[in-house]
Amino acid sequence: MFIKATRLTLAAALLGATTLGAFADGFTPEAPECIAPANPGGGWDFTCRQVGKSLQDLGLLEKTMQVVNLAGGGGGVAFAEVVNKRSDDNDLIVAASSATATRLAQGAYPGNTMDQVRWLSSVGADYGVIAVAANSPISDLPTLLNMIKTDPTKVSVAGGSAVGGWDHLKVLIAANAFGVEDVRTVKYIAFDGGGEAVTQLLAGSVQAFTGDISEAKGFVDSGDIKVIAVLSPERLDGAFASFPTAREQGVDAIGANWRGFYAPGGMSDAAYDAWVSKIGALYASEEWQQIMANNGLAPLDLQGAAFQAFVADSVAQIQQISKEIGIIR
């Protein structure tokens, strides 16, 4: 059931939908802002900054989007800020991902549910990776997982989500597929963002990193880390073609992290429709398709009600997975 549910999540994450072709009239953000619910360097930060820049480059925003990093609680601090203090802000969007759905599914944002915000659009899906420092003696995924299976106390894996979050679940998916009987023994260390997790990896505080390919790419390019497994069905193209999949190493583990945005629950319909249209037009552009290719993002084209339904399905599926591995009851 565990692997089957994971595959269902992946299958849903790779379904496409048509973009909205026309802008919604009647609303233009006066001071566009994107909250990245983590410190600089991680996937949420990438999503805010890259989408903000591209929206302006394409003329979809008249003014520069301000990016605010608001880390804490695996996205919970940002979620609470939006729900409690900025619920009617028409200029605000917030980066979200499978990590957001995971925390909501597990009740990790106390008193908050997905229905308190409005879900805007997706901008792609980011495959999970497991990596080690460039100078690590560990050269492949089975070696790492065998070390964990033999003595889990000697191996720490760092990620940019909270305990029980999506980065944590990815390494548990791999451990489960490898035959680790009790995945709760896997030693996971949580940090506020992938950048901070990689910093600890390079410092030697942990032995491995679990994250997404977009946040790992810069560290691979700089020669700091080496990717020992991508959690994709087959090898990716282009700059990522040299990274082995978990599956080709005999570990049948797949994990795709969708990326997108939510908005305050009290955002006006006119503002909501405008943001949905702008992000939909961005996704359909040749410029964004090239950015996706350069950063290892897989297709995921959902806007408005379709994205809202997709997130609801994601939350339900992650609740099932989390119960199966004992994260929640």
Confirm whether 2-126+257-324 and 128-249 share one CATH topology: yes
At residue 255, φ and ψ (nearest 5 deg) are -155, 115
Name the residue among 26, 20, 22 with its Cα closest to residue 269: 26
Q: How many CA atoms lie within 13 A of 75 on its CB side?
A: 35
- 286: number of CA atoms within 13 Å, CB side? 0
- Confidence at residue 25, expressed as pLDDT on a 0 to 100 scale: 53
How is 68-132 classified by DSSP, letter by letter?
EE---GGGHHHHHHHHHH-TT-TTEEEEEEHHHHHHHHTT-STT--GGGEEEEEEEEEEEEEEEE
pLDDT per residue as tens digits for the range 12-43: 444 333 333 344 457 999 999 999 999 998 88
User: Is residue 2 pLDDT above 70, yes or no?
Assistant: no
* Confidence check: pLDDT of 115 > 90: yes
Domain residue extents for the chain = 2-126+257-324, 128-249
2-126+257-324: which CATH number, 1.25.10.10, 3.10.310.30, 3.40.190.150, 3.40.50.2300?
A: 3.40.190.150
Q: Is the pLDDT of residue 3 over 60?
A: no
Element (H, E) at 149: helix 141-150
The matching CATH number, chosen from 3.40.50.300, 3.30.930.10, 3.40.190.10, 3.40.50.11740, for 128-249 is 3.40.190.10
